[in-house]
């Protein structure tokens, strides 16, 4: 193969890879939109139960750090652009504001997906126990930022914020962690036929 042919082939491979990345990032953000609509409002808290954390775990674990974080960032940009992609088909900058009940959780999605994706790239996704550990760490990031944000937004004490923004969701999110761990092999096949490479 000539140098010109090799250069053209490399360029085509890069363009193809970038196209795949872009498509996956868009699909990831749309999956988050759909999971946001699995929403249940509770009478005693401004934070709804949604399927979004399940999406963060699966996308972070199967997409890797860059595509996982980019999917979450794009999802937030869609909401910021006033597209009805949030829970209950709601959108707008107010959902990400300091006075929002859910802003911390939403920003936590980006950080958690990046962290889970990084751990997956290091091989944590290859063993059920370490995959679950990575997902639990992701949940800690989401709820840590979410509860702290909720407390400042509503002037709650730490105890009140935990009662409103953490305790009601523990059992559901344990189930989401287990579902994500079970779904990970299928997600690998859809994304890149074998999962993230280890480093």
CATH number of the domain encompassing residue 93: 1.10.1760.20
* pTM more than 0.75: yes
How crowded is residue 136: how many other Cβ atoms within 10 Å of its Cβ? 14
Predicted confidence band of residue 172 (pLDDT cuts 50, 70, 90): very high
| Domain boundaries, position 164 | 26-191
The larger pLDDT score, comparing residue 127 to residue 148, is at 148
Q: Please compute the mean of the pLDDT values over residues 138-148 and round it to a whole number.
A: 98
Q: Does the pLDDT of residue 187 top 70, yes or no? A: yes
Return the closest-CA partner of residue 168 out of 35, 53, 48.
Answer: 48
CB 56 within 8 Å of CB 112: yes
Lowest mean pLDDT among 93-107, 141-155, 156-170, 171-185: 171-185
In a domain, 42, yes or no: yes
* Residue 187 forms part of a structural domain: yes
**For residue 5, is it within any domain?**
no
Residues 103, 106: Cα–Cα separation, whole Å: 5
Q: Is residue 67 part of a domain?
A: yes
Residues 96-109, mean pLDDT to the nearest whole number: 97
Q: Quick one: angle between helices 103-121 and 65-80, nearest 10?
A: 160
Is 19 a member of any domain?
Answer: no
pLDDT score recorded for residue 13:
56
User: Stretch 15-30: mean pLDDT, rounded?
Assistant: 89
The whole-chain average pLDDT of the chain stands at 89
- Give the per-residue pLDDT at 5: 43
7 in any annotated domain = no
3-state SS class at 86: coil
The answer to whether residue 2 sits within a structural domain is no
Average pLDDT estimate for 38-49: 95
Q: pLDDT category, 197, cuts 50, 70, 90? A: very low
The structural domain count of the chain equals 1
In a domain, residue 178? The reply is yes
* Residues 6 or more apart in contact with residue 99 via CB below 8 angstroms: 153
């Amino acid at each position: 193969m000539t140098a010109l042919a090799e250069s053209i082939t490399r360029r085509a491979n890069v363009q193809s890879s970038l196209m795949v990345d872009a498509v996956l990032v868009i699909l990831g953000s749309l999956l988050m939109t759909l999971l946001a609509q699995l929403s249940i409002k509770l009478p005693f808290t401004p934070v709804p139960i949604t399927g979004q954390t399940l999406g963060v775990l699966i996308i972070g674990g199967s997409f890797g750090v860059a595509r996982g974080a980019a999917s979450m960032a794009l999802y937030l940009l869609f909401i910021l652009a006033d597209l009805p992609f949030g829970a209950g088909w709601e959108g707008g900058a107010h959902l990400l504001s300091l006075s929002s009940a859910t802003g911390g959780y939403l920003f936590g999605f980006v950080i958690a997906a990046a962290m889970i994706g990084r751990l997956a790239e290091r091989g944590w996704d290859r063993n059920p126990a370490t995959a679950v550990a990575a997902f639990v760490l992701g949940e800690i990031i989401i709820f840590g930022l979410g509860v702290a944000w909720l407390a400042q937004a509503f002037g709650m004490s730490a105890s009140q914020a935990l009662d409103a923004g953490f305790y009601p969701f523990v059992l559901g999110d344990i189930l989401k962690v287990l579902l994500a761990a079970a779904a990970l092999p299928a997600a690998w096949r859809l994304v890149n036929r074998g999962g993230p490479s280890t480093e």
